Amino acid sequence: MTPSHRLHTGPIKRMAEDMTIRHLADATIDRYTYHAAQFARFLGKPLPRATPEDVRSFQLDMIENRKLGWSSFNQAVCALRFLYRVTIPKPWPVTMIPFGKRAKKLPTVLCREEVEALLRCTPNLKHQTFLLTLYAAGLRVSEAASLQIPDIDSRRMQLRINHGKGNKTRLVPLSPRLLEALRAYWVEYRPPQFLFPGKTPDRPYATTSIQKAVKQAAARAGIAKRVTPHVLRHSYATGLLEAGVDILTISRLLGHSSFATTMVYLHVRRPHLDSVPSPLDWLPVRQLPGWQQERSTGNRKHPDRA
């Protein structure tokens, strides 16, 4: 399958080449060129003739008409900043293109029982092993999809992640239980190159298929939370934190570029939340509404005894 950015022409093709020279990932190049193409259609004139007001109108269109989330919005901003800083340098300051404000939400986390139910309700062995790999190693879905057979080091009990975010490579521990599951999976499928091949052996498995499988498994398991493959990564990180692993180690295992990104898991770990009492528990029993109602009912005389 040819990456979509190779189908472009003109300034967008040059933009893709500029990103290739800087060793940006194919997925990043595809997303940036997609947003640049969307801007070109919105602009209705050659990209070099764009003005700051054109960019502002495009951003308003993304918010008001296309209803893009903050992630896609900021992705488009990054694309335009690269386009007009590197490929088509402009006299106006590119840094003036504002980013959208990211919503501060706590990650969704599954408890052990929910993870077990999710895996049990995934009948397809390939899907089940994929989800098990996500949870056991805390991988992003793209990282698990890109795993190849040589990345499994059973002697040192390590997984080598070669396609991390930002094209960074890292090592994560290989769980003995995961190794056992991977061996059983290999006996069944015998993948030649990618651990989880797609429609052809030389392509990784489509992430959309895994997303669909997770959604269906969560429905079968009766999990009311919104479950995505990334939720398993959140659950991995929170589980390590609750087990006493220091947060710096967790940050390295997750491949976070910023230590602050890992800090969010401090807010969802159970020991932290369970240790905080409710002020309601400090009130005298007589202050509780239920006690007052029960007392008044109990003191009321029975009609037959009047």
Return the domain boundaries, the chain.
Answer: 4-96, 112-270
Which CATH class name applies to 4-96? mainly alpha
- The pLDDT-based confidence of 241 (bands split at 50, 70, 90) is confident
CA nearest neighbour of 30 among 12, 3, 2:
3
Among residues 165, 170, 252, 269, the one annotated as catalytic is 165
Q: Which residue has the tokens 């999710």?
A: 118
Is 256 one of the annotated active-site residues of the chain?
yes
Place of tokens 């030389």: 202
Phi, psi of 244 (to 5 degrees): 100, 5
Find the catalytic residue in 5, 233, 234, 236: 233
Query: Which position among 5, 126, 127, 140 bears the catalytic label?
Result: 140
Helix axes 207-221, 229-242, angle to 10 degrees: 70
Confidence of residue 129 (pLDDT cuts 50, 70, 90): very high
SS3 content of the chain, % helix, strand, coil (to 5): 60, 5, 35
Closest C-alpha to 234, from 261, 196, 272: 261
Q: Is 127 labeled as catalytic in the residue annotation?
A: no
Q: Is 238 exposed, middle or buried (0-12, 13-18, 19+ CB in 10 A)?
A: buried
Active-site position among 81, 230, 252, 269: 230
Task: Give per-residue pLDDT as tens, 42-67.
Answer: 999 999 999 999 999 999 999 999 99
Tell me if the pTM is above 0.95. no
User: Which of 156-160, 162-166, 192-196 is predicted with the least confidence, judged by mean pLDDT?
Assistant: 162-166
Q: Please tell me the distance from the alpha carbon of residue 235 to that of residue 108, in angstroms, as a whole number.
A: 8
Residue found under tokens 């193409």: 37
CATH fold label, 112-270: hpI Integrase; Chain A (1.10.443)
Residue whose structure tokens are 């997609």: 34
Annotation says 185 is catalytic: no
As a whole number, mean pLDDT of residues 75-104 equals: 89
C-alpha 254/C-alpha 143 separation (Å) is 11
Residue 80's nearest CA partner among 146, 36, 130 is 36
Closest among 17, 59, 67 to 35, alpha carbons compared: 59
Residue 141 reports pLDDT greater than 70:
yes
Marked catalytic residue, from 6, 13, 90, 256 = 256
pLDDT for 183 beyond 90: yes
Find the length of the chain: 306
Annotated catalytic residue 270: no
* Strand order, beta sheet including 158-161: 152-153, 158-161, 170-173
Angle (CA) 174 189 197, round 5°: 75
